[in-house]
Amino acid sequence: MDPNVKNEFFEMFSKSVSKSYSDEDRKKLGLEPTPKREVHSQGPWKLYRYDSSKKSKHPPVLVIPSLINKNYTMDLLPGHSLMEVLVNSGLDVFIIDWGRPDASTGHIGMAHYIGKYLKRAVRQVKSITGAKKISLLGQCLGGTMAALYSAHPELKKDVDRLALLTAPLDFENSGMLSMWTDPASFDVVSLTSAVGPVVPADFFHSSFPLLNVRASLSKYKNLLEKIDIPEFKKIWQALDIWANDNVDFALQAFRDLIKLFYQENRIMREIFELEGEAVGIRNIDMPTLAVAARDDHVFNDNATRGIQKSKAADNGNLSYHVMTAGHVTVIVAHPVRNETFKLFQEFLTR
Amino acid sequence: MFNFFNEELMKKMYDEWEKTMSTHLEKMVHDQGFVSEMAKAMASTMTGKAMASKAMDDSFSMMNLPSRTEMVKALQKLTDLEERLLDLTEKFDDFVAETKSARGAMQRSLDRIEEKLHTHQAGAEAPEQKSAKKGSKK
C-alpha cells in the first residue's frame, strides 16, 4: 500500500477512535454548507431560517430533527444536503436546533417538547412569514414529534402538509431497541435514577454500535478499502464527526421515550396526552409523505409503517416510500439520496 | 523469514476476527435473557449510586447547605416561570391582535352604517326640498 495512503488512514483512524475532531476538520470538510440565521431561541433550543433570495408561493417548511443527535445530517456537505435542495427549489426553510439540554430543562418531557417548544417554533415561522399554515418535515424522533403535533385537533390547524423521514410511530416490535427496552426487564426509572437531570449522551450512545454489529466492526476496514475514493473519504469523515457529536437527553424526555413510546406504544394506541387531548395515529389526516429506509438498524419498517393506520392513508392522502438504504444513508449516500431529496422536494412544492 | 506485517495475512486475520466477533456479538445482543440480566445489573448499580447521591444531599441539608438536587429544582422552577411568562406574552399578543382586528371590523361596520344613514338622509331630504320648492312657487 502507498505509504501516503497508509498515513492518511492512520490519521483518520486515530481521530475517529480518540474522537479528537477539531473545528478546523469541520471547516475543511465544509459541514453545514447552507447559510442560515438564528431567528428565535428559548433555553437550549434555537430556530434558524435558511437564507434564500427566492420568494416562494408554497407554505414555509419547518424541519424538526431528532433529539438524539445534532441536526446537520440534513445539511451535511455541499451536494449532500436536503436543506440545500429545498432552499434551491425556492422554499422558505426553517430548522430547529434542539441544542444541549442542561439541568434547567431536565424535567421537560416529550409532551412539553411538542406542545410548547414545537408550537412556539411553528408560531414563530407563521409570524415571520405571515403564512397561515406551514409544512412540517420531521426526521427520526423529530418525525414522531411532527406526527403528534399533526394529530392534535387544535395544533394541526397550523399544518398544511406533513413529511416524515425515517420516523418511528409504531414502537412495538420496532427492532432491537424495542427488545432491549422490554418493560419486563428494563426499568427506566431505576436505570436513570442516578444520572441527574440529563441523561448523558454516552449512556445511550454506547449501545448504538451494537444495533448493527457487523457494520460497526467493519467500519475501519471499509475506510481502508475505499480510502482512495475522495468522495467516500469525505462522507465517511463527515458522518463520523456527526456520529461522535452526541447530545445529552433531558431526563424526563428520555423516560417518556422509553415508557410512553417504546413500552406503552401510546401513539398507536391513541392515548398520547398532548395539551389536554389524547392523540394518536388515526388523527393524522393531512397530505403526508413518509419515507422509510429498508435497512434501518435503529427502527425497522414496522415502526415507520405505523403511518399507514392514519386517516391520511384511508383518504388517499398518504404517499409511502421505502428506500434501499439505512437510517442515515438514506439522505447522504449516492445515489439514493437524490431520490430521497426529489421525493421531499416534489411533495413540498406540489 | 516469516513476515508478520504481511498485508494479506493481516487482512485475512482481521476478516476472521471480524467474523467471529460479529457472530458472537450478534448472538449476545439478540439474547433476551442476556439483555434482561444486563439491564437488571445496571439498574441495581444505578439504584446504589442514587442512594449515595441521596446520602450526600442529606448531609448537605444537615449542614444547612443547598444540595445539588435543590439547586436543580430551583433552576427548573425558573424554566417553568420563563415558560409561563412566554405563554402569557403570547396570549397578550394574540389578544392585542384580536382586539385590533375586532376594532377594525367594528370601524368598518360603523362606516357602512354611517354611509347608509347619509344615503337615507339624502333620500329623505330630496322630496322635502322638492315640496318646499313647489310651495314657494305658489
Domain count along chain A: 2
d(CA B53, CA A194): 7
| pLDDT recorded at residue A300 | 87
Mean pLDDT estimate for chain A: 93
DSSP annotation string for A45-74? EEEEEE---S--SSPPEEEE--SSB-STTT
Size of interface A-B (CB pairs under 8 A): 88
- Tell me if chain B has a CB within 8 Å of the CB of A315: no
Rounded Cα gap, residues B41 and A13, in angstroms:
33
Q: Which residues of B touch A182 (CB under 8 A)?
A: 32, 35-36
Residue B119 has pLDDT above 80, yes or no: yes
Residue bearing cell 389524547: A278
Instruction: Inspect the interface and report whether the beta carbons of A185 and B90 lie closer than 8 Å.
Output: no
A107 touches chain B (CB under 8 A): yes
Mean pLDDT score, A118-122: 98
A230 and A83 inside one domain:
no
Is residue A132 within 8 angstroms of chain B, CB to CB?
Answer: no
Q: Residue A145: pLDDT band by 50, 70, 90 thresholds?
A: very high
Whether residue A45 is contained in a domain is answered as yes
**Grid coordinates given for A56:** 416562494
Contact B18 A217 (CB under 8 A): yes
Q: Is residue A338 part of a domain?
A: yes
What pLDDT, in 10s, does the model give residues A14-71? 989 888 899 998 999 999 999 999 999 999 999 999 998 777 789 999 999 999 889 9
Instruction: Express each pLDDT in A275-333 by its tens digit.
Output: 999 999 999 999 999 999 999 988 888 899 999 999 999 999 999 999 999 999 999 98
Closest residue on chain B to A207 (Cα): B29
Sort A76 into a burial class: Cβ within 10 Å, 0-12 / 13-18 / 19+. Answer: buried
B72 at the A interface (CB within 8 A)? yes
Instruction: Give the three cell numbers for residue A161.
Output: 402538509
Q: Are residues A220 and A77 in the same domain?
A: no
Return d(Cα A263, Cα A255) in angstroms, integer.
10
Question: Which range (A96-100, A189-193, A265-269) has the least confidence?
Answer: A189-193
Specify whether A338 is located in the same domain as A274.
Answer: yes
Residue A332 inside a domain? The answer is: yes
Same domain as A301, residue A314? yes
A191:B46 CB<8 A: yes
pLDDT (average), residues A240-247: 89
**Angle of helix B68-137 relative to helix B32-62, nearest 10 degrees?**
90
Interface test with B, best of A190, A216, A275 (most B CBs within 10 A): A190
Question: In B, which residues are within 8 Å of A42 by CB distance?
Answer: 82, 86
**If you compute the radius of gyration of chain A from its CA atoms, what whole number of angstroms results?**
20
pLDDT at B137: 58
Q: What are phi and psi of A75, to 5 degrees?
A: -145, 60
Residues of chain B in contact with residue A176, where contact means CB-CB under 8 angstroms, are 29-30
Q: What is the mean pLDDT of residues A126-144?
A: 96
Is the pLDDT confidence value at B1 over 60? no
Starting at the edge strand found earlier in the chain, the sheet holding A288-293 runs A36-42, A45-50, A93-97, A61-64, A134-139, A159-165, A288-293, A318-323
Mean pLDDT of chain B: 86
**Whether residue A223 is found in the same domain as residue A196:** no
Cell triple for A256:
417518556
Q: Which pLDDT band, with edges at 50, 70 and 90, does A77 fall under?
A: very high
A208 domain-assigned = no
A87 and A222 inside one domain = no
Task: Please answer yes or no on whether B22 and A217 come within 8 Å at the CB atom.
Answer: yes
Using a pLDDT cut of 70, give the percent of chain B over it: 90
What pLDDT score does B4 carry? Answer: 58
User: Looking at the structure, do residues A15 and A55 belong to the same domain, yes or no?
Assistant: no
Domain of residue A61: give its range: 33-200+251-348
Which of A40, A84, A87, A46 has its CA nearest to residue A349? A87
**Residue A190, min C-alpha distance to chain B (Å):** 5
Answer yes or no: is A138 within a domain.
Answer: yes
* Amino acid B126: pLDDT: 75
> In chain A, which residues have their Cβ closer than 8 Å to the Cβ of B39?
180, 185-187, 191
Q: Which candidate from A1, A197, A214 shows the least CB-CB separation from B22?
A: A214
Q: What is the ipTM score, two decimals?
A: 0.81
> Sign of the C-alpha dihedral, residues A294, A97, A29, A245?
negative
pLDDT above 90 (res B109): yes
Span B54-103, pLDDT tens digits: 898 889 888 989 888 899 999 999 999 999 999 999 999 999 999 999 99
- A222 interface with B at CB cutoff 8 Å: no
Quick check: bond before A101 cis, omega within 30? no
In which element (H, E) is residue A80 found?
A: strand A80-81
Helix, strand, or coil here: B7? helix
- Confidence tier at A85 by pLDDT (50, 70, 90): very high
Cell numbers that stand for A201 in this block: 449522551
Instruction: Write out chain B residues lying below 8 Å of A106, CB-based.
Output: 72, 76
Task: Calculate ∠ Cα A294-A298-A303, nearest 5°.
Answer: 65
pLDDT at A222: 86
* Assigned domain for A305 exists: yes
- pLDDT at residue number A66: 94
Task: Give yes or no for A192 touching B (CB within 8 A).
Answer: yes
pLDDT recorded at residue B36? 85
pLDDT, position B135: 64
**Do A176 and B14 count as a contact with CB atoms less than 8 A apart?**
no
**pLDDT more than 90, % of chain A:** 69
User: Is-contact A306 A313, C-beta < 8 A?
Assistant: no
Query: Is A2 exposed, middle or buried (CB count within 10 Å of its CB: 0-12, 13-18, 19+)?
Result: exposed
Nearest to A302 by CA among A294, A310, A311: A294
**CB-based contact A97:A48 (threshold 8 Å):** yes
d(CA A86, CA A90): 7
Distances (CA, A) of A304 to A170, A246, A267, A281: 7, 23, 12, 12
Q: How confident is the model at residue B105 (pLDDT cuts 50, 70, 90)?
A: very high
Q: Which chain A residues touch B83 with a CB distance below 8 Å?
A: 116
- Indicate if A74 and A123 belong to the same structural domain: yes
Segment holding A94, helix H or strand E: strand A93-97
H or E, element range at B118: helix B68-137
Both A148 and A272 in a single domain? yes
Interface residue A214 vs chain B (CB under 8 A):
yes
Do A114 and A236 lie in one domain? The reply is no
H helices of chain A, in order, are 3-18, 23-29, 82-88, 110-112, 119-129, 141-151, 176-180, 188-191, 201-205, 213-217, 219-226, 230-244, 251-256, 301-304, 311-314, 329-332, 336-348
Average pLDDT estimate for A247-252: 94
Per-residue confidence (pLDDT) for residue B129, from 0 to 100: 72
Specify the residue for cell string 475514493: A229
Across the interface, do A213 and B26 touch by the CB < 8 Å criterion?
Answer: yes
Same domain for A182 and A240?
A: no
Mean pLDDT of A188-206: 86
Nearest to A213 among B15, B25, B50 (CB): B25
- Please judge whether B43 and A210 are an interchain contact, meaning their C-beta atoms are less than 8 angstroms apart: no
pLDDT class of A94 with cuts at 50, 70, 90: very high
Burial of A43 (0-12, 13-18, 19+ CB in 10 A): middle
In angstroms, the separation between the Cα of residue A162 and the nearest Cα of chain B is: 25
- Which of these ranges, A27-41, A245-259, A272-286, B111-125, has the smallest mean pLDDT? B111-125
Q: What is the pLDDT of residue B133?
A: 67
The reply to whether A4 falls in a domain is yes
| Residue of higher predicted confidence among A209 and A162 | A162
B7-66 tens-digit pLDDT: 788 888 888 888 898 888 888 888 888 888 888 888 888 888 888 888 988 898 889 898
Residue A164, domain CATH: 3.40.50.1820
Residues A280 and A299 in one domain: yes
pLDDT band for position B138 (50/70/90)?
low
Nearest to A178 by CA among A121, A170, A228: A170
Task: Assess if residue A46 is contained within a domain.
Answer: yes
Of A161, A137, A121, A40, give the one whose Cα is nearest residue A87.
A137
